[in-house]
Amino acid sequence: MNNAILKKYDVIGLMSGTSGDGLDIAHCSFFYDGGWSFRINFAETIAYLDEISELLEKAFHSSIDLESISKIYGNFIGEQVNSFRNKHNVDADFIASHGHTIFHSPNEGLTLQIGDGNVIAQVCKLPVVYDFRTQDVALGGQGAPLVPVGDKLLFGNYDYCINIGGFSNISFDECVHEKNTRLAFDICPVNIILNELSKILGKEYDKNGEIAKNNKVNIDMMEELNNIEYYKLSHPKSLGKEYVINYFNPIIAKYKNSASIEEIIATYTEHAATQIGRSIKHGNALLTGGGVFNKHLINRIEYYADGKCELIIPDEILINYKEALIFAFMGVLKMREETNIYSSVTGASKDHCGGRIAGKY
């Protein structure tokens, strides 16, 4: 491919987060003229029907049918992309799909995102870039976070980029050995825990953080959460659903005997705000992801940031679709055979160009 000639890319980016609420689809255009710029043309979230949610849950608990489940889910993705293309009357050079994470244990050399790229390519009749994490884990990296390449090249005017979704993660530049280096790590679980707690009360989530705002914080539980071993680790580091099950859930279960669910939601919200707020030191921070709509959480993050950092909340499109946008961008870099994963972020043995390509381009 002649990179000097092809300076515009139209890409459909796909993201399914750990909160498992739906598939994010974003039709994006990228422009290169010595530096990168972008435009999100159309974007929407396809809520998962019960059968798809059950399929993803089954995949997490069973290693037997993973290949067939990945194909079924890949077919679902392909059909949704085709509906999206027809609805908005758009096409693309290719698709870039994150897939849906079933397990992520990089210290054991394991990570799996389902949504077979070959099936998506077949259904959509477009090339598909997918499986972004496996190569990084094979190179000794965490396979996460992956969005920092987009943070650096598309949002480099912010001192920090923070996503607050199922998990929160942070990305920033720091001078390391007299070189400006991109660093990043997962901060803490957020909606993956808060949404499950809210469902016990018959709610999908804590809207605006009203439950947390109107209930007291359990100090003993806060202390236990803040002392979880993960927070003592230096980066690179990343979190997965397995870590939540093994380390966070037992603490929550312990306090269910002595505290109301409302009090636990208030306490966990305060815990997440503490960890996120203390991660930012100066300048400004771009906040995106579904957690940004939790007004109480954002207010508490601002409290723990203690005036050291201005929190920037963009328009709803960017809040909701920044990750889909960046996976589309990672697909562009893959097609250009350029670095899209930084070793300084993941701990891999070298910078590299992650992802696999299905179909012709």
Q: Give per-residue pLDDT as tens, 314-356.
A: 999 999 999 999 999 999 999 999 999 999 999 999 999 999 9
Report whether pLDDT(214) > 70.
Answer: yes
* Peptide bond preceding 250 in cis form (omega within 30 of 0): no
Sheet architecture: strand order including 167-176:
179-189, 167-176, 160-164, 284-288, 310-312
Q: Confirm if 113 and 18 have CB atoms less than 8 A apart.
A: no
Both tokens of residue 211? Answer: 């439950």
Q: Confirm if 331 and 245 have CB atoms less than 8 A apart.
A: no
Enclosing H/E stretch for 111: strand 110-114
What local confidence, expressed as pLDDT, does residue 60 receive? 77
d(CA 275, CA 60): 27
Of 58-67, 97-106, 144-153, 286-295, the range with the lowest mean pLDDT is 58-67
| Band of pLDDT at residue 164, cut at 50, 70 and 90 | very high
| Band of pLDDT at residue 361, cut at 50, 70 and 90 | low
What local confidence, expressed as pLDDT, does residue 1 receive? 44
Both tokens of residue 91? Answer: 């096409």
Mean pLDDT, residues 243-261 taken together: 97
Mean pLDDT of the chain: 94
What domains appear along the chain, each with residue ranges and CATH number?
8-144+324-358 (3.30.420.40), 160-308 (3.30.420.40)
Both tokens of residue 112? Answer: 């799996």
Mean pLDDT, residues 9-20 taken together: 88
| Band of pLDDT at residue 6, cut at 50, 70 and 90 | low
Residue in 90, 100, 116, 103 with CA at minimum distance from that of residue 10: 90
Report whether pLDDT(4) > 70.
Answer: no
Bridge-based pairing of strands 36-47 and 94-105 is unpaired
This prediction has a pTM of 0.93
Q: Confirm if 80 and 23 have CB atoms less than 8 A apart.
A: yes
Of 86-90, 158-162, 236-240, the range with the lowest mean pLDDT is 236-240
Q: What digits encode the pLDDT tens for the residues 93-145?
A: 999 999 999 888 888 888 899 999 999 999 999 999 999 999 999 999 999 99
Bridge-based pairing of strands 160-164 and 94-105 is unpaired
Q: What share of the chain is helix, strand, coil (3-state, %, to 5)?
A: 45, 25, 30
